[in-house]
Every structure is written in structure tokens, then in C-alpha cells.
């Protein structure tokens, strides 16, 4: 594998915050793993009063995807990463959350697809969904408003 490609993969792993990446092409394969604690996407105010975000890694299927805790500022839930917002686990499935629905800490709110990985975004706290700010299939940037909870 070309050294430039390996350097680019390392940069992608560092920028995305994922813990591990494995790529194979033909008879060549490379695995890049980061050691240490996973990145924490919450604000410093939230970090002081709660446990760190958890991340587990498995396949790219939505039901088995990596999990990330959503960033909440007051009652706003924002995107912890750039990607594509999905309101449901599959095109023909019911959305995870509807306006007016009560959600609890740890409930899946949506999925953000980033770098071909499906990342479940979970509620940092409970509340009632007052607004869904992102549209299904819409590109979102890190920090974009996704939900308002009350």
C-alpha cells in the first residue's frame, strides 16, 4: 500500500476521533488503532457533572453501530460530528423520535452516517422532544442543532 494513502488514513482516523480503522484492498490490508480514552464530544460544563461518553464498535449496520452521546446545551441536542442525519434505522422504519415524544437518558435519537460508519446519537438527558431541526437524509456539520428537548 502506498505510504501517502497510509498517511491519509491516519489523518482521517485522527480527525474523525474513531478508535480503529481496518482497510483491505486485494491482498493488502492495514489496521490503524488509537489507544487511550475515546474522544468526549460534550462541553466542559457537562463533563463536570456526568459520566464520560461511551463508544462501542461493531459493524456498519445501524442496529450494531458505534454509539456516541449527543452534545446537549441546555435543552438543545447538537451533532457531535459531521455527516448525514437519519431519523430512523432504515428507510421504511418508524423514526426513533417524534415531536412530543418523551425520551429518556440513553435513548437513541437518530443516526449520523460519517465516513461510512453509522453512529447512534443518544440522549444525554431525558425530556420531551419539542423540535427536530434536521431533515432525514440532510447533511449536518459538527455542532448543528438536531433536537430541542424540554
Rounded to whole angstroms, how far apart are CA atoms 76 and 58? 28
Give the CB-side neighbour count of residue 80, counting CA atoms within 13 A.
Answer: 28
3-class SS at 144? coil
**Residue that wins the pLDDT comparison between 30 and 145:** 145
Q: Which CATH class is domain 44-149?
A: mainly beta
**Residue that wins the pLDDT comparison between 59 and 31:** 31
Compute the average pLDDT of residues 24-43.
Answer: 64
Report the percent of the chain where pLDDT is more than 90: 44
Tell me the pLDDT tens digit for each residue of 82-122.
Answer: 999 999 999 899 999 999 999 999 999 999 999 889 999 99
Q: What pLDDT sits at residue 15?
A: 76
Contact 147, 117 (CB under 8 A): no
Over 60: is that where the pLDDT of 67 sits? no
Compute the average pLDDT of residues 53-81.
Answer: 54
Contact 111, 136 (CB under 8 A): no
Over 90: is that where the pLDDT of 6 sits? no
Over 60: is that where the pLDDT of 141 sits? yes
Compute the average pLDDT of residues 7-11.
Answer: 81
Q: What pLDDT sits at residue 71?
A: 52
Compute the average pLDDT of residues 124-139.
Answer: 93
Neighbours of 133 (CB within 10 A): 16
Prediction pTM value: 0.54
Our CA angle for 58, 60, 61, nearest 5°, is: 100
Q: Where in the chain is the domain with CATH 2.40.50.100?
A: 44-149
Amino acid at each position: 500500500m502506498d505510504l501517502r494513502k497510509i498517511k491519509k488514513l491516519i489523518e482521517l482516523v485522527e480527525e474523525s476521533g474513531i478508535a480503529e480503522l481496518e482497510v483491505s484492498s486485494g491482498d493488502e490490508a492495514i489496521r490503524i488503532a488509537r489507544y487511550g480514552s475515546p474522544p468526549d464530544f460534550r462541553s466542559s460544563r457537562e463533563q463536570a457533572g456526568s459520566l464520560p461518553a461511551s463508544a462501542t464498535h461493531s459493524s456498519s449496520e445501524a442496529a450494531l453501530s458505534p454509539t456516541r452521546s449527543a452534545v446537549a446545551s441546555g435543552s438543545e441536542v447538537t451533532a457531535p460530528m459531521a455527516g448525514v442525519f437519519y431519523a430512523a434505522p432504515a428507510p421504511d422504519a418508524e423514526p426513533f423520535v417524534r415531536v412530543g415524544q418523551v425520551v429518556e437518558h440513553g435513548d437513541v435519537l437518530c443516526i449520523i452516517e460519517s465516513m461510512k460508519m453509522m453512529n447512534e446519537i443518544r440522549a444525554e438527558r431525558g425530556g420531551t422532544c419539542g423540535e427536530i431541526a434536521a431533515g432525514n437524509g440532510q447533511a449536518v456539520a459538527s455542532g448543528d442543532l438536531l433536537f430541542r428537548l424540554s
